[in-house]
Chain A
Amino acid sequence: MTTTATTIPTDLLPGPHSRRQRRIERVVVAALVAIASTGVLVTTGIVASLVGPTWQFFTARSISGYGQEAVEVAGADPYAIPADDNPYAIPTDDNPYAIPTEETGEEFVLRDSSSIDFADESLIQYEDPVSVREFFTSTQWYPQYGDADFGVLPLLVGTFLIMLTASIVAVPMGVGTAFFLSQYASERTRRILKPVLELLAGVPTVVFGFFALLVVGPHVAARIWPFSDVGIYSGLSAGITVGLMILPMMATLADDAMAAVPRSLVEGAVALGATKREVATQVVLPAALSGIMAAVIIALSRAIGETTIVLLAAGSQAVWTFNLGNEMQTMASYIGFAGIGDQPTDSKGYQTIFAVGLLLFLITFVLNVASRRIVARFREVYE
């Protein structure tokens, strides 16, 4: 009989290897927390990047231009420095790196006027801050022009019209396709169609934009619009194409909502002799309604934020109109349009990108929250 005195443990503390593992774990967790915080940082970053310049847009004066005299008086010689290093150079259409060689007295706008020390401020031209009232009530949007107007209504109306058109295209067909997939299609058909829908949802927007230019604009929109003459660019063309783009997503989300309806409900109705149509419209639809509504809101939110298709299909004029046959701009497509050029960072024209961007962000944010609230509220009823 061996004694067990030497093998009875007196503690259960970890050995060196285990201790090292625990030290490693502490380091790892700290690193992971740091990484996880970046998610929060990104949101903060977005809001911060939008709020600052928007605040400036509405409250601060911007420098819109000044004569060359002002620069010379300030002691800076824009022609002495090589183009690439020259913070005062602006690209022109002819030569991306050209330095303007206008005569004295001609105005030109600099990339970053905050770095200039002006000796004589009377030579500077300013833009006044934009009044909130003008922003929300004026119907003229010409921010890049000399005598600029900053009324955002044309963009809002354009956004709304295109969103409406897109929803008319996508919601009925999307929900219909979802009905078909979940209630009528055989298992085999479903197994083929569902991945196809997912693939289609991944088609880049620029492809749809090209399709709008090639087919939808000239051949569909121009032909079917009864209220006016329609050129190749129109809100209708953009709206239809955006609708086509969100169609696969709408169908997939609606189908997910319908598939989530408990089988017991469906089987109960079938057992009572209901036809497929009646099951679909009177049992599945009401039960899946919250999910379908959330899907609609998500799809609309996507349509509101769509840039590329609208840029390609609806033209670049922020026209104040309710006529879908006209060219128009949306908030998102304006931002894209404004961003193509390279504007001085403190001009009102540049700041419009942020003001409109903040508005766009707020609208989609509200829709996002609304869709989740709806799902939460309706879900209680059935569970």
Chain B
Amino acid sequence: MVTLGTETGRAPILRPMQSTVATAEPSGVEPTSQVVLEARDLNVYYGDFRAVQDVNLDCHKGQITALIGPSGCGKTTVLRCFNRMNDLIASARIEGSVTYHGIDLYGPQADAGEVRRRIGMVFQKPNPFPKSVYDNVAFGPRVNGERDKKRLDEIVERSLRGAALWDEVKDRLDASGLGLSGGQQQRLCIARTIAVDPEVVLMDEPCSALDPIATARIEDLMQEIKQQYTIVIVTHNMQQAARVSDRTAFFTTEVNPESDRRTGRLVEIDDTRKIFSNPSDSRTEAYVSGKFG
């Protein structure tokens, strides 16, 4: 357990790792699990173009929520709303609300940097920094104020273990992160994301650039860490969603008859088992049974 920070009355810089989770129920039956992230009536615009329409979804603590659907249906757009990465696009704006534990992510009580510390992201193509393995993992804590070398060492080791990468790199922490294989690089990215001790980890198609063996390792890793880190994953691989997630949200695109442009919308969100065996909406059924997409 790592104790940090000296601010009075505020959470420490990096919250201590939780050893137990509030509502640890076997996956599949969570009637009382806590909602961590919630989107209500979310619409996302790029300039005048509405990319995503009327999304209502919630992600529960300790679970993996998967966002699936054909390409262009806005799953990544929605995901990036959860950690305010869409702020980086000048023309992007949202209507509706996105909340984290009830706090409006886009409101005055939320600072973008702080949001991203609590809600981390792993990207589709592994993007380790052109620095050493150690410096990759230590970057987040350093940027958030951690200076003590011993504590950084502990955090780095803990995070690399948490990402199932420690044994492979413990002897070459000074080697460049770019020298690792694709699967290792992605686990490095996961390690650096959990190094800042987030509550949620967003994953944008994390395995699409990896080979099947590396993919399997990451899927295993996801299951290991989901108790500590609520995970929201975008994937275009249905089988992965079915294997890995507790709840699944299915998106589709609708063509706007006037402008001939496609807008994404959420069709349904439910327990994964239900989505894949007995979905409520026929479009969901068509997609998961392979009739299209």
Binding site for B on A (CB under 8 A): 1-4, 7-18, 21-22
Contact = CB atoms under 8 A, between A and B. Distances in A.
B22 A11 contact: no
B282 interface: no
13 contacts: A1-B24, A4-B34, A7-B18, A10-B101, A12-B105, A12-B109, A12-B110, A12-B118, A15-B7, A16-B145, A17-B145, A18-B111, A18-B114
Contacts of A1: 20, 22-24
Interface stretch (B8-16, B48-56, B229-237): B8-16
Interface in B6-50: 7, 10-11, 13, 15, 18, 20, 22-24, 34
A7 B13 CA distance: 13
A53 B109 CA distance: 59
B113 A8 contact: no
A9 B22 contact: no
A246 B243 CA distance: 67
Contacts of B113: 14, 18, 21-22
A15 B13 contact: yes
Nearest to B100: A12
A8 B102 CA distance: 10
A9 B24 CA distance: 20
B103 interface: yes
A290 to B, nearest CB: 30
Given A4-B34, A18-B144, A18-B145, A13 B20 contact: no
Most buried by B among A8, A12, A18: A12
B59 to A, nearest CB: 15
Chain B interface size range? 20 to 34
Contact of A13 (B23, B101, B105, B114): B114
A6 to B, nearest CB: 9
Contacts of A18: 111, 113-114, 144-145
Interface of B: 5, 7, 10-11, 13, 15, 18, 20, 22-24, 34, 100-101, 103, 105, 109-111, 113-115, 118, 144-145
Contacts of B118: 9, 12
Nearest to B146: A17
B13 A12 contact: no
B13 A17 contact: yes
A7 B20 CA distance: 12
Q: Which 9 A-B pairs have the closest CB atoms?
A: A17-B145, A12-B110, A4-B22, A11-B109, A14-B111, A12-B114, A14-B114, A2-B20, A8-B101
Contacts of A15: 5, 7, 10-11, 13, 114, 145
A18 B11 CA distance: 13
Most buried by A among B23, B24, B34, B101: B101
Nearest to B24: A1
Contacts of B111: 12-14, 18, 22
A10 B118 CA distance: 13
B135 to A, nearest CB: 19
Given A4-B34, A9-B100, 12 more contacts: A1-B20, A1-B22, A9-B103, A11-B110, A12-B103, A12-B109, A13-B111, A15-B13, A17-B13, A17-B144, A18-B114, A22-B111
Given A2-B20, A18-B144, A9 B115 contact: no
Contacts of A7: 15, 18
B11 A9 contact: yes
A220 to B, nearest CB: 53
Given A17-B13, A18-B113, A11 B103 contact: yes
A22 B111 CA distance: 10
A14 B143 CA distance: 13
A162 to B, nearest CB: 48
B24 A12 contact: no
Contacts of A3: 22
Contacts of B34: 4
A180 to B, nearest CB: 39
Most buried by A among B105, B110, B118: B110
Contact of A2 (B5, B11, B22, B144): B22
A209 to B, nearest CB: 46
A64 B113 CA distance: 68
A122 B7 CA distance: 82
Contacts of A8: 101
Most buried by A among B11, B100, B105: B11
B115 A12 contact: yes
A4 B105 CA distance: 20
A272 B68 CA distance: 48
B97 to A, nearest CB: 14
A242 B118 CA distance: 64
Contacts of B103: 9-12
Nearest to B104: A12
A148 B90 CA distance: 61
A334 to B, nearest CB: 49
Contacts of B110: 11-13
Nearest to A3: B22
B196 to A, nearest CB: 12
Nearest to A5: B22
A197 B109 CA distance: 59
B127 to A, nearest CB: 22
A9 B23 CA distance: 17
Contacts of B144: 17-18
A97 B93 CA distance: 71
A167 B24 CA distance: 81
B146 to A, nearest CB: 9
A21 B10 CA distance: 18
B102 to A, nearest CB: 8
Contacts of B24: 1
A301 to B, nearest CB: 35
A16 B8 CA distance: 11
Contacts of A14: 111, 113-114
